[in-house]
Structure 1
Amino acid sequence: MAKEYVSLYRQILAERQRLYDAAIAAKEYTPFLYPWDMLPVTYLFLAIMITPRLPPRLARPTRYATFALILFHSLYLNVRRRTLWFAGGYGIGLATDWGIIMSAALLVFNDPARDFRRLETRPAKASTDVVANGTARMLTPTKVKVDTDVVANGSARMLATSTGNASASIDLTPRRVPGVYTSTDTKQPSFPGSGQAASQPYTLIWQGFPYKKGLLHLIDWTVDLTTSFRGPNWNHRISTLGAIDAPLPPDPSANGHADGSSQPTAVPKQSLRALQLRAVQDFTISYLLLDLLKTTMITDPYFLGLSPLNSTSPWSWLARLNEVIPFATRFVRLWVSMTGVITALTFIFSLSPLFFTIILPKLVDVTKLTKSPLLEPWMYAPFWYPVTTSILQSGLAGFWGKFWHQMFRYGISEPSRVVIEWLKIDKRGQAARMIQLSLAFGLSGSIHAAGSYTTFSLTPSHPFSGALSFFFTQGVGVLLQSTLIKFLHRCVPHTKSLPQVVKQCTNLAFVLVYLYFTGPLLADDFARCGIWLFEPVPFSILRAAGFGPGGKDESWWTWYQEGSKWVGWHKGDGWWDSGLAIY
């Protein structure tokens, strides 16, 4: 009987599985273990809950000691833990390094008792909820407003009347919030006759550390602080998220007391439906595109980590194109790599609005579960900005500062803020800009270098000469472009008056050319790490239809691999090496 065909892709997976099992058996590594490997998160969580209640002379040393514990435990995990899940182990290093950075931002560079406030919901009462001090106040630096009618004396009056149903009496037509998943420069218009609300009416207030609000409220506040990386409903909300409807945060000296309440409001039904529809749309499109990309990429040895970037492509159309355009193969592989990253991240990002605005409200009353305004569209601001308002306007700086996702922006920008304030440097000066770029891209590089280090791959990865070097070159590129522009404006003054379209095309060309030459540092390391060996979607429509490498184990269920296992009990030398394992 003829031997069943096994694709090169499946051979690579089987060989990696064999080596991984041998490494675990030899105790060279251990798999990711629950609950022990979640302890750094627990340290952070407990520190935020407990230290604000300690005397000041004890609170700061305790926060710093906790950060040191998180640092050393995370480094231990990077050295000892390996898994084939979490994108081949890349997620271990990425998550632990980001945990270190975020812990520093929350515990070292800030004081949870003093520096953080969250927008929370409170049930609206038909005749008693008023805006603090009787006036609508603005949140800075983000432009916001409160939906109020202002009477002749300047005081804010209730939109809800003292009689009747509060939900029915709230006027929703004046609401104007950032468009759902659109550029924050675009406002979502008010809907004619949109008096129907999708939620019970509520007011928004700023809540600092909840000293006397009960344990459940404290847990809710702390979990939100540690997981809301962009801070959409926090006073450290990053500037790229745009405007929201909210009152001005209270004076930090308020010691955590709630203040600055808004007028009663609710989420318009049309706004919620638009948000839910976009979440389903993003999930569906990114899922299908991931299936297409994965099915295609695993037929090219480059994406399996076996061939160099400029090697001949097995795709006949690309091989022929490369004969005409010598750089076609390199360009297409880089483009596919970037598209794969963007699509995978879009898929992950779509899970948040999908879960919190569709699934969770069907299961529980979210108002009883959390005081976070989960149904507000501004909680789910866009992760990717239009090319016209980012790259075409600002070149490489716009690519990284706006177009690319801003999930890590707050954490990686806090160190530079503290350094600049400590050195008393002009925040708008060139020295401050150098510090910001160096630290931001350095920390971004460390996150990806840590992921590269913790992958279990057949080909050794290059964390420092690959990922770290790539992000270092991006900072250099931002400075290089700005320096060239200043040089041209000084030496060739008429370049300042060039048509806008010429400037935009120049910015786009610079970004494409610069990423073409520097992109291989990261793209090659992704391939070596085995990032593209990971199966992102369990059900493949295309492979069920016969596309892809074909052969043994290729079917609609992609998560099957002979000899592999997902979870199980791992017994090590001691309790610290034993637990529920993710292999």
Structure 2
Amino acid sequence: MSPQQRLPDLASVYRELYRAKFRADVRDGAATPFVVPLHLLAYWIVPTLYLTIPHRNRPWLYHARWLVLGFVCAFNWYLVRHVRSISFASSYGVGLLGAWTTIWTFTLLIWTRPQWDARRVERREIMRHVDEVGNRQEIGQSPTSSQNGRLSKLNIDKPNDQSSTLLRNCGTRLQLESHDSPSVTVTRRVQRNGDEVANGVRKKEAHTIKDIGDETEDSLLARSIVALNDSDGNPPLDQNMALELSRLTQEREYEYYWQEYPADASFWTRLGWAFDLVSSFRLTGWNWAPSCLPPYNPPPRIGQYQLPLEYGPHRSRRGYERTLSRAKLIIFRWVFNIIPSYIILDICATLMTMDPYFIIGPEHNHPLPTHLALLHPILLSLQRTTLAFVAIVIALQYALNFGAVLLALYCPPILGFRAHPWHLPSPTGSFTQVLDHGLSGFWGAWWHQTFRFGFSAPTKWLIRHGYVPPPQRSGGVGGAIITPLIGAIIAFALSGLVHGAGSYTSVPATYYWGPPLFFAFSGLGMISQSVFLHLLRHRTEKLPRWVCRLANLTFVILWLWATSWLLLDDFGRSGLWLWEPVPISFARAAGLGVDRYVWRYHRDSLPRWQWGARGRWWETGIVV
């Protein structure tokens, strides 16, 4: 028998102890199981229904948002105080849900005015009719002389390989973004030397399309595309590529537009708009989408034509990228994200069951296994921090990518365009942001930005109402230092509140002040490094790039290592590491770990149906 097999199975013992404590708390009335849909009342149901009712012209109804907010706060207070789950991750998630719902409701009802300012990109089919000579025409537009039948129909949801490749290649060159301007007007005139000018930009002979025959609408549109491309300083387009793009533009099946709050539309239209807003934490497809994501705007127009959705940049400067092919998104994320994450997460979870630190927390009095007892305390701390960090990152990648695949695969019949891959960029940015900007790049660009808008909304409200100066204001200390400082303090305080609430709702006893302190130190480290680099910017500019990157990475590693115990110790106390992340453990099948049970899901950890007891019909639902 190997030393690993002789280790006590502490993980299974403490799982049963925590489950027994949960059942005892429910029996004694000290805790209530988490039930869907009851405990989503403040998260989805009430805010969505309130935003469904038009209130722009009803001041009394707009002021009633304070009543809605009061209900949400009271409900979430009850949720955090009394609701728990037999699943360790779900019990931690109860606190996350209660705290985040409060922050998000403040964002939608107080810090912003969605019915006035929010708008999303929506699409509608283009209505066409066939003229006498067999050409398709858009209703309300003048007849065209182009031969639209030369190409097969372009389906935006499922682009064919040829059109997808073409438009992706064009998108890397054509960095055109339509912001608030709904269309681009193209004018053509001829200079004395014979050079054509479009959009006020002279076209050199090398940049024009030659030998395209008569000036059909295809050629005119292609010339306009080339003119717009060159006017933005992009490399010149190939003649055939520009012509093909112009034809695909004319063959589009949908048009995209900004949809403001549809106050005059039907109840179901308003409900869909409000539900989308309440559910979209990253606000992809909305005018409030964070700037770190790829741009979310309707495709630009050239005269009466709107370019396809594939046109334009689909990778942001921070490294977030998206694909518009549903098949490519599903296959790529399964092969390169979900499957590797599953394997790594399984290994991490198995290794954690061999260390009492991850089972009970740092206060355990159990002997360490041989492979850990021989390590120096510094190396032991480094090993535990690395394992925990890898587990957290991979778990987030696994959950977010798996959710995106489920949306793209199963939800188009229900959500329509909202489940299009255009709305599903990568969950994290480029790691080069960490190398180039240190902790600022770690938290502000590389780390998932799911809660970014909610965390930054209070600061934007303060700026909008003149309480703090805008950060872009040149000169003075206020805009350059004080405003970013206030924004960082608020963002990290709210993040600490969310994770502290998760610690509080865990079944075992925890030190729920640990996570807020960790995020406070993270903000302090980010601000300190930013100020230090700002003061030494003249010296650092002379250093080689690799030296600066190595210094940033070293600072991030050392700072997180020195402060992360506040968060990781609390994860151990809360039993969060005891959660089974995968149903089938290939690591245990290969002989790793203490126990050898390959099927990991306990019956109590799976959702089940519950009928409301003692006449409490509202407690009927799915227990998670």
The CA deviation string for residues 316-360 of structure 1, in whole angstroms up to 9 with x for no partner, is 1x554x34xx52111121111111111111111112331232334
Match in the other structure for 2:474: none
Matched, 1:108 2:153: no
Contact 1:121/1:373 (<8 A) preserved: no
- What is the CA distance between 1:290 and its match in structure 2? 1.6
Q: Tell me how far apart the structure 1 counterparts of residues 606 and 421 of structure 2 sit (CA, whole Å).
A: 40
Match in the other structure for 1:514: 559
Q: Tell me how far apart the structure 2 counterparts of residues 102 and 64 of structure 1 sit (CA, whole Å).
A: 14
Match in the other structure for 2:214: none
State the one-letter code of the partner of 1:127. Answer: Q
- Mark the CA change 1:565 to 1:413 in structure 2 (over 3 Å): closer, same or farther: closer
Contact 1:309/1:330 (<8 A) preserved: no
Q: Tell me how far apart the structure 2 counterparts of residues 571 and 355 of structure 1 sit (CA, whole Å).
A: 30
Matched, 1:342 2:396: no
Match in the other structure for 2:452: 409
Contact 1:247/1:261 (<8 A) preserved: no
Match in the other structure for 1:71: 73
Match in the other structure for 2:425: 381
Q: Tell me how far apart the structure 2 counterparts of residues 400 and 68 of structure 1 sit (CA, whole Å).
A: 31
Contact 1:97/1:447 (<8 A) preserved: yes
Q: Tell me how far apart the structure 2 counterparts of residues 419 and 311 of structure 1 sit (CA, whole Å).
A: 51
Which of 213, 230, 239 aligns to 2:265? It is 213
Match in the other structure for 2:588: 543
Contact 1:93/1:454 (<8 A) preserved: yes
- Mark the CA change 1:88 to 1:395 in structure 2 (over 3 Å): closer, same or farther: same
For 1:273-352, what aligned pairs fall within 5 Å after superposition? 273-281=327-335, 282-307=337-362, 314=369, 316=371, 318-320=372-374, 322-323=375-376, 326-352=377-403
Match in the other structure for 2:137: 127
For 1:325-474, what aligned pairs fall within 5 Å after superposition? 326-361=377-412, 364=413, 369-370=414-415, 372=417, 374-377=419-422, 379-388=423-432, 390-428=433-471, 429=479, 430-457=481-508, 460-464=509-513, 466-474=514-522
Q: Tell me how far apart the structure 2 counterparts of residues 463 and 246 of structure 1 sit (CA, whole Å).
A: 44
Q: Tell me how far apart the structure 2 counterparts of residues 73 and 450 of structure 1 sit (CA, whole Å).
A: 14
Q: Tell me how far apart the structure 1 counterparts of residues 619 and 403 of structure 2 sit (CA, whole Å).
A: 32
Match in the other structure for 2:621: 580
The CA deviation string for residues 504-554 of structure 1, in whole angstroms up to 9 with x for no partner, is 11111111111111010111111111111111222222223443211xxx4
For 1:26-65, what aligned pairs fall within 5 Å after superposition? 26-40=28-42, 41-50=44-53, 52-53=54-55, 55-65=57-67
Contact 2:411/2:419 (<8 A) preserved: no
The CA deviation string for residues 218-259 of structure 1, in whole angstroms up to 9 with x for no partner, is 22212211111111100101000033562589xxxxxxxxxx
Q: Tell me how far apart the structure 1 counterparts of residues 140 and 550 of structure 2 sit (CA, whole Å).
A: 51
State the one-letter code of the partner of 1:461. Answer: T
- What is the CA distance between 1:556 and its match in structure 2? 2.4
State the one-letter code of the partner of 2:14. Answer: I
The CA deviation string for residues 460-493 of structure 1, in whole angstroms up to 9 with x for no partner, is 21111x101111111111111122224445xxx5
Contact 2:9/2:594 (<8 A) preserved: yes
- Length-normalised TM-score, structure 2: 0.74
- Mark the CA change 1:45 to 1:145 in structure 2 (over 3 Å): closer, same or farther: closer
Match in the other structure for 1:23: 25
- Mark the CA change 1:436 to 1:139 in structure 2 (over 3 Å): closer, same or farther: farther
Q: Tell me how far apart the structure 2 counterparts of residues 482 and 5 of structure 1 sit (CA, whole Å).
A: 47
Residue ranges of structure 1 left out of the alignment (5+ in a row): 156-169, 176-186, 250-259
Q: Tell me how far apart the structure 2 counterparts of residues 145 and 532 of structure 1 sit (CA, whole Å).
A: 50
- What is the CA distance between 1:295 and its match in structure 2? 1.5
Aligned pairs, number: 511
- What is the CA distance between 1:267 and its match in structure 2? 5.5
Moved over 3 A (4+): 53-56, 136-141, 148-151, 189-197, 266-273, 306-313, 486-489, 493-496, 563-566, 570-574
Matched, 1:505 2:550: yes
Match in the other structure for 2:87: 85
Match in the other structure for 2:601: 559
- Mark the CA change 1:358 to 1:424 in structure 2 (over 3 Å): closer, same or farther: same
Match in the other structure for 2:610: 569
Q: Tell me how far apart the structure 1 counterparts of residues 332 and 486 of structure 2 sit (CA, whole Å).
A: 38
Contact 2:298/2:309 (<8 A) preserved: no
Q: Tell me how far apart the structure 2 counterparts of residues 440 and 129 of structure 1 sit (CA, whole Å).
A: 49
Aligned-partner SS, 2:124:
strand
Contact 1:117/1:235 (<8 A) preserved: yes
- What is the CA distance between 1:264 and its match in structure 2? 5.3
Q: Considering only CA atoms, is the larger Rg found in Structure 1 or Structure 2?
A: 2
Q: Tell me how far apart the structure 2 counterparts of residues 202 and 376 of structure 1 sit (CA, whole Å).
A: 16
- Mark the CA change 1:565 to 1:283 in structure 2 (over 3 Å): closer, same or farther: closer
State the one-letter code of the partner of 1:228. Answer: S
The CA deviation string for residues 194-230 of structure 1, in whole angstroms up to 9 with x for no partner, is 9999x98211111011223323322221221111111
- Mark the CA change 1:313 to 1:5 in structure 2 (over 3 Å): closer, same or farther: closer
Contact 2:459/2:487 (<8 A) preserved: yes
Match in the other structure for 1:252: none
Contact 2:361/2:571 (<8 A) preserved: no
Q: Tell me how far apart the structure 2 counterparts of residues 455 and 427 of structure 1 sit (CA, whole Å).
A: 40
Question: Which is worse superposed, 307-316 or 438-447?
Answer: 307-316
- Mark the CA change 1:333 to 1:140 in structure 2 (over 3 Å): closer, same or farther: farther
State the one-letter code of the partner of 2:68. Answer: T
- Mark the CA change 1:212 to 1:262 in structure 2 (over 3 Å): closer, same or farther: farther
The CA deviation string for residues 101-154 of structure 1, in whole angstroms up to 9 with x for no partner, is 1111111112221111010111134533799xxxx994459xx998x9956376
Q: Tell me how far apart the structure 1 counterparts of residues 617 and 108 of structure 2 sit (CA, whole Å).
A: 27
State the one-letter code of the partner of 1:426. Answer: P
Which of 202, 207, 210 aligns to 2:254? It is 202
- What is the CA distance between 1:277 and its match in structure 2? 2.0
Contact 1:412/1:443 (<8 A) preserved: yes
Q: Tell me how far apart the structure 2 counterparts of residues 298 and 319 of structure 1 sit (CA, whole Å).
A: 15
Contact 1:85/1:582 (<8 A) preserved: no
Match in the other structure for 2:188: 152
Aligned-partner SS, 1:241:
coil
Q: Tell me how far apart the structure 2 counterparts of residues 9 and 424 of structure 1 sit (CA, whole Å).
A: 52
Q: Tell me how far apart the structure 1 counterparts of residues 310 and 551 of structure 2 sit (CA, whole Å).
A: 42
Residue ranges of structure 2 left out of the alignment (5+ in a row): 1-5, 128-135, 142-174, 190-197, 200-220, 227-234, 312-322, 472-478
Contact 1:305/1:527 (<8 A) preserved: yes
State the one-letter code of the partner of 1:445. Answer: G
For 1:194-273, what aligned pairs fall within 5 Å after superposition? 201-244=253-296, 246-247=298-299, 263=306, 265=308, 271-273=325-327
